[in-house]
Amino acid sequence: MAQVACGIDIGGSGVKSALVDLETGEFVGERIRIETPKPATPDAVAEVCRQLLERLEVGPETPVGIAFPAPVIHGVVPFIANLDPSWAGINVNELMERHLGRRVVPLNDADAAGIAEVAYGAAKGVDGLVILTTQGTGIGSAVIMNGVLVPNTELGHLEIDGYDAEKRASSGQKTLQDLSWKKWAKRLQRYYSHVEMLFSPDLFVVGGGVSKNHEKFMPLLDLKTPMVPAKLFNTAGIVGAASFAAQQADSAEG
């Protein structure tokens, strides 16, 4: 497998990229961030990805993975909740090949975080069912059974009490509505106990920036399932995308 791969993480406010040492899961050199263009149309975002690869001097042989805040089904984004709606129906393989002049490997951002946590973080060596949720503007999910990802789950969009779950329980809503930790934890309780009832997981991993403050909300939750913060805080999307791209390059060769 390649020793180094490149990951790009497309978010609502920034598009971030770095080269990743696949042995350790750490960045090689600096991480570059470019503001997400407004509007964040497919062409505008693809152009930012081109600039990132250029600035990082990513060679044609280096695998590149791109994490999207949306499901990616056989290269196609079926819908997108938190970026420009014109992404719906876009084949990201074709889009990126047109702009970057090379193949890349697209995947969902929470799936990328899940892959990174399995390889280097909180889900490493964990048997059974792990559900990782990423907290941010939306709630992303990665469902992992004995280290193997079930891709493109969208547990942030479960409908609970008549609401799209992420519109109540995401950390983005905590910020937007200026909720106290206690008030937000009530919403988390409703959300995670529902997911627990549906899936009976062995472990919850919570990622996203807010997981740095896990001691502020995790002790307020009453769940049967153990819950731990992600280990790779804000690098998981990039690291997971890079790692996935390297795995895909390997299976294409072998």
Q: Pick one of 4, 81, 179, 220: the residue that binds ligand BGC (CB under 6 A).
A: 81
Q: Does 166 bind ligand BGC (CB under 6 A)?
A: yes
Within a 10 A sphere around the Cβ of 81, how many other Cβ atoms? Answer: 16
Q: What is the 3-state secondary structure (H, E, C) of 108-149?
A: EHHHHHHHHHHHHCCCCCCCCEEEEEEECCCEEEEEEECCEE
Shortest Å, Cβ 222 to ligand BGC? 25
What mask, x for binding ligand BGC by CB under 6 A, covers residues 139 to 158? Answer: -x-------------x-xx-
CB nearer ligand BGC, residue 132 or residue 245:
132
CB nearer ligand BGC, residue 62 or residue 136:
136
CB nearer ligand BGC, residue 4 or residue 81:
81
Q: Pick one of 41, 47, 76, 82: the residue that binds ligand BGC (CB under 6 A).
A: 82
How big is the site for ligand BGC, counted in residues (CB under 6 A)? 16
Directed axis angle between helix 42-55 and helix 92-100, to 10°?
50
Cα atoms in the Cβ-side hemisphere of radius 13 Å centred on 99: 19
CB nearer ligand BGC, residue 201 or residue 237:
237
CB nearer ligand BGC, residue 25 or residue 237:
237
> Which residue reads 């193949």 in tokens?
103
Shortest Å, Cβ 50 to ligand BGC? 22
Please name the amino acid found at residue 189.
Q
- Cα separation, 190 vs 183, in Å, equals 11
Residue 82's nearest CA partner among 134, 117, 28 is 134
Interactions with ligand BGC, residue window 108-127 (CB under 6 A): 108-110
Only one of the segments 1-9, 102-110, 196-204, 209-217 lies at the binding site for ligand BGC (rule: CB under 6 A); that segment is 102-110
Q: Does 240 bind ligand BGC (CB under 6 A)?
A: no
Only one of the segments 104-112, 184-192, 195-203, 211-219 lies at the binding site for ligand BGC (rule: CB under 6 A); that segment is 104-112
Q: Pick one of 45, 49, 66, 70: the residue that binds ligand BGC (CB under 6 A).
A: 70
CB 133 within 8 A of CB 172: no
Q: Does 49 bind ligand BGC (CB under 6 A)?
A: no
Summarize as ranges the residues that interact with ligand BGC (CB under 6 A): 69-71, 81-82, 108-110, 134, 136, 138, 140, 154, 156-157, 166
